[in-house]
């Protein structure tokens, strides 16, 4: 997440509460004004729609929208009102059902979608086998590479040649001077093969960190010019390599190359899905 986004999303982080057991929740009463809902009655209708979506998705409403009482001041007196301790998923459903004309709703949709996805991946990632870990990380890399390409273009990296040199610099920093061609050859790949498709999860994670931090650095430091952008990408790659070295990790060029490409894994999963659907149609 870039610094700019972190600043914009801070309003959602500021009202997050962490329980003693480490779990988190958002108070519906505190979330309403952040999402630009001045009247509780209007916001409660959004909550009702979100609850329906929660039920339809197979989740237990009481788990994601636990109702709690809250004491609020009303002039000189106090009164008890309904509140909800919303999970991250509940907040995601609320912003999905909010008024799309509100700019903060769009911001909330992005924030809670990203955070909900991260939480789901974190919860399930360790349960995945190596091939599925690779598949998940490769998907993240595709998205971050697109962001990096857009940010590099804004920095002045325009032509295909310039972008190839920019990407190569990042690899050289991370791989101790090895170029894309060197890595390709070291892995024994065919010309048409993509090196990212022939990386294990550990190597992919190192490259994901390189890509995301390069994108963040270009934005954060408002870097301009092909040479400056290329140098920045190289430095980020080198720093990631140094971090791996400091913790005693295996250098990325020394990690084993999987026998099966991620494209093959994807085809296998699609074939399984087609077979499952065919069996269901035959039943």
230-280 tens-digit pLDDT: 999 999 999 999 999 999 999 999 999 999 998 888 888 777 766 765 554
Residue 251 burial (CB count, 10 A)? 15
In this structure, the answer to whether residues 227 and 177 fall within a common structural domain is: yes
Residue 23 main-chain phi, psi, to 5 deg: -75, 160
**93 lies in some domain:** yes
Residue 227 has which token pair? 């040479």
Point out the domain boundary residue: 125, 143, 172: 125
**166 lies in some domain:** yes
In this structure, the answer to whether residues 49 and 160 fall within a common structural domain is: no
Residue 19 has which token pair? 């329980």
Residue 134 has which token pair? 């690779």
Angle CA 229–110–235, to nearest 5: 20
Mean pLDDT, rounded, of the chain: 88
24 pairs with which residues across the strands?
Answer: 18
In this structure, the answer to whether residues 166 and 99 fall within a common structural domain is: no
Mean pLDDT of the 119-135 span:
78
Give the DSSP H/E element, type plus range, for residue 86. Answer: strand 77-86
Could you tell me the CA-to-CA distances from 250 to 104, 135, 183 in Å, in that order?
43, 21, 15
Q: What is the pTM of this model?
A: 0.58
In this structure, the answer to whether residues 164 and 223 fall within a common structural domain is: yes
**272 lies in some domain:** no
d(CA 228, CA 48): 51
**20 lies in some domain:** yes
Domains: count for the chain: 2
In this structure, the answer to whether residues 146 and 261 fall within a common structural domain is: yes
**273 lies in some domain:** no
Pairwise pLDDT comparison (74 vs 137), residue with the higher score: 137
**Structural domain boundaries, residue 177:** 130-267
pLDDT confidence tier of residue 1, bands split at 50, 70 and 90 = very low
**280 lies in some domain:** no
d(CA 271, CA 264): 10
In this structure, the answer to whether residues 105 and 170 fall within a common structural domain is: no
In this structure, the answer to whether residues 33 and 113 fall within a common structural domain is: yes
In this structure, the answer to whether residues 205 and 191 fall within a common structural domain is: yes
pLDDT single digits (tens) 188-220: 999 899 999 999 999 999 999 999 999 999 999
Point out the domain boundary residue: 125, 160, 184: 125
pLDDT at 18 exceeding the cut of 70: yes
Residue 42 main-chain phi, psi, to 5 deg: -70, -40
- Amino acid 110: pLDDT: 80
Mean pLDDT of the 86-106 span:
88
Q: Which of 168, 166, 169 is nearest to 181 (CA)?
A: 168
Give the DSSP H/E element, type plus range, for residue 18. Answer: strand 16-18
In this structure, the answer to whether residues 89 and 52 fall within a common structural domain is: yes
In this structure, the answer to whether residues 188 and 175 fall within a common structural domain is: yes
**25 lies in some domain:** yes
Point out the domain boundary residue: 125, 156, 180: 125
In this structure, the answer to whether residues 107 and 144 fall within a common structural domain is: no
**276 lies in some domain:** no
In this structure, the answer to whether residues 118 and 170 fall within a common structural domain is: no
Residue 266 has which token pair? 């994807």
């Amino acid at each position: 997440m870039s610094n700019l986004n972190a600043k914009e999303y801070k309003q959602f982080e500021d009202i997050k509460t962490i329980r003693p057991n480490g779990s988190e929740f958002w108070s519906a009463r505190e979330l309403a004004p952040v999402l630009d809902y001045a009247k509780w009655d209007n916001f409660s209708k959004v909550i009702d729609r979100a609850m329906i979506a929660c039920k339809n998705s197979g989740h237990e409403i009481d788990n994601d929208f636990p109702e709690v009482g809250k004491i609020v001041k009303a002039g000189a007196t106090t009164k008890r009102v309904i509140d909800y301790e919303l999970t991250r998923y509940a907040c995601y459903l609320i912003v999905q059902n909010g008024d799309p004309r509100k700019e903060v709703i769009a911001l909330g949709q992005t924030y809670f979608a990203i955070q909900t996805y991260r939480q789901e991946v974190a919860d399930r990632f360790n349960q995945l086998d190596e091939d599925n870990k690779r598949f998940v990380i490769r998907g993240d890399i595709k998205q971050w590479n697109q962001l990096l390409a857009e940010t590099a273009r804004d920095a002045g990296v325009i032509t295909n040649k310039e972008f190839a040199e920019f990407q190569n610099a990042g690899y050289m920093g991370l791989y101790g001077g090895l170029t894309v061609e060197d890595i390709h050859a070291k892995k024994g790949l065919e010309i048409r093969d993509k090196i990212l498709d022939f990386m294990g999860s550990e190597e992919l994670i190192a490259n994901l960190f390189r890509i995301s931090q390069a994108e963040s650095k270009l934005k954060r430091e408002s870097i301009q010019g092909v040479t400056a952008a290329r140098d920045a990408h190289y430095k980020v790659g080198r720093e990631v390599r140094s971090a791996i070295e400091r913790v005693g990790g295996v250098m990325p060029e020394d990690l084993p190359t999987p026998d099966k490409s991620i494209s093959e894994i994807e085809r296998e999963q699609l074939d399984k899905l087609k077979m499952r659907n065919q069996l269901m149609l035959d039943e």
